Structure 1
Amino acid sequence: MADQPVKGPASYFPSIEKKYGRPIAEWQELVRQKMPAKHMELVAMLKNDHGMGHGHANAVVAHTLATERG
């Protein structure tokens, strides 16, 4: 099982860390600091305030919100 590829939003994490130079934990903390907020408001914050692309921002927000919900 451990050798199966990562799927879903987390599959973007290596490229996000490489492109934007910050660990995913930092991006997730930025999202948590703005909660509660709507999904697309959080995506817009990452895009507008940090220059993140839409797909990457959406992946970070989706994964963070899913983790927070449990």
Structure 2
Amino acid sequence: MTDTPKGPESYFPSIEKKYGRPIEEWKALIRTSDLNKHMELVNWLKADHGMGHGHANALVAHTLKESGT
């Protein structure tokens, strides 16, 4: 039996389905962005990529946590 993802990762399947890109691609976009503050990145994903707030927030939180920011 597989573990059900918790926290930000629980959004990943629906993000991939809704926005048509793999999570690693989204995380690469976040990492290469000139922005570095959490809410700046969330607002950028919402404005430039049409992402909903919850999905953007989950991606940014997970990506920044991975990079230790």
Would you say same fold, with TM above 0.5?
A: yes
How large is the RMSD of aligned CA atoms in angstroms? 1.6
SS in 2 for 1:18: helix
Contact residue 9 and residue 62 of structure 2 kept, 8 A: yes
Q: Gapped runs of 5+ residues in structure 2?
A: none
Alpha-carbon displacement from aligned partner over 1:10-68 (angstroms, at most 9, x marks no partner): 00000000000000011001100125511000001100000000000000000000000
Within the alignment, does 1:47 sit opposite 2:36 as a pair?
Answer: no
TM-score by length of 2: 0.92
Q: How many residues align?
A: 69
CA distance in 1, matches of 2:41, 2:52: 13
TM-score by length of 1: 0.90
Q: 1:36 to 1:20 in 2, by over 3 A?
A: closer
CA distance in 2, matches of 1:4, 1:66: 21
Q: Gapped runs of 5+ residues in structure 1?
A: none
